[in-house]
């Protein structure tokens, strides 16, 4: 039996993939979107208040569902599948999941996962005080006390951002020295409402309905103490979900897919958008913009005469 080949296949059902599908379907491209159940990291957000057009806030799941409904209105085909591998033979991409799928062009929108601390209470309180994005969730903690975990540039930058809107920031880092840029360290040391807990780790996150604080362990003395806090922001790295195409496209040192400004990867016919690509900002609004650009590039790849 001859295999069915889609002009375009999108892997990933979060804002980047759904935005790409809205644009590709409006271009008239027969598009199949493959994704597991859920809508990426965005769907787990309890409240989103920085996405344009929703001044009264909206939950991540509701926003993703609206995008999905809009894409299906334009003719998107969807299949819930956990993609395991992608290969290319000639001008056709083979996508292996529970079933096998084939396409002439591919958009990778598989997102990224923040590295976890792996401590008790982290998963149970995620979205209820445990956050991996200060830009997204910081304003919910205005005038409150928060903990930031990490010692690299991201942790230092977000601690400085949170210090502008919260009452108190406690920065917890497992080493004696920060790994971030010297100018950021200088700003941290000068901030009046940032306190440091160096050579220390979070041993447990406490709270019933929401975060109430954390058990901090000093790695030198072994002493543990409870530190009250309303929120905990974790910055111990991220892992882009790029394993599917790591043999096909160029990745940076963190495993993110390298693209140009048109979302083109090093492999002709493969485009990437959203958190899986190397990008300076990981937000829903930028993921959507990436998706629109990726779909436009895919359209011109499939229709070189236009």
Within 8 A by CB and 6+ apart from 189, the residues are none
Phi then psi for residue 61, to 5 deg, are -65, -40
Annotation marks residue 133 as catalytic: yes
Which of 46, 123, 133, 252 is flagged as catalytic? 133
Annotation marks residue 46 as catalytic: no
Burial class (CB in 10 A: 0-12, 13-18, 19+), 278: middle
CB-CB contact of 15 with 291 (8 Å)? yes
Which of 25, 137, 230, 288 is flagged as catalytic? 137
Annotation marks residue 25 as catalytic: no
Which of 136, 273, 275, 288 is flagged as catalytic? 136
Active site residues: 133, 136-137
């Amino acid at each position: 039996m001859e295999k069915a080949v889609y002009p375009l296949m999108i892997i990933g059902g979060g804002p980047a993939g759904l935005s790409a599908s809205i644009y590709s379907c409006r271009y008239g491209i027969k598009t199949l979107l493959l994704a597991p159940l859920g809508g990426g990291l965005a769907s787990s957000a309890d409240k989103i208040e920085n996405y344009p057009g929703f001044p009264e806030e909206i939950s991540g799941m509701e926003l993703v569902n609206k995008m999905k409904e809009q894409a299906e209105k334009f003719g998107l085909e969807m299949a819930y599948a956990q993609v395991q591998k992608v290969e290319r033979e000639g001008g056709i991409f083979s996508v292996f999941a529970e079933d096998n799928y084939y396409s002439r062009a591919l958009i990778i929108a598989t997102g990224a996962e923040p590295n976890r601390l792996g401590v008790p209470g982290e998963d149970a309180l995620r979205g209820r005080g445990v956050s991996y994005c200060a830009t997204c969730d910081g304003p919910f903690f205005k005038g409150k006390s928060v903990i930031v975990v990490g010692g690299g540039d991201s942790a230092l930058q977000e601690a400085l951002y949170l210090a502008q809107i919260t009452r108190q920031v406690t920065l917890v880092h497992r080493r004696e020295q920060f790994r971030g840029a010297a100018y950021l360290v200088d700003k941290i040391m000068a901030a009046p409402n940032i306190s440091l807990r160096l050579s220390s780790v979070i041993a447990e996150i406490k709270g019933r309905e929401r975060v109430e604080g954390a058990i901090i362990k000093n790695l030198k003395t072994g002493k543990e103490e409870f530190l009250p806090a309303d929120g905990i922001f974790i910055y111990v790295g991220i892992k882009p979900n790029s394993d599917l195409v790591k043999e096909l496209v160029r990745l940076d040192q963190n495993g993110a897919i390298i693209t140009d400004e048109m979302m083109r990867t090093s492999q002709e016919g493969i485009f990437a958008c959203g958190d899986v690509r190397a990008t300076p900002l990981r937000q829903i609004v930028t993921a959507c913009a990436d998706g629109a650009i990726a779909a436009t590039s895919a359209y011109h790849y499939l229709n070189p005469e236009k």
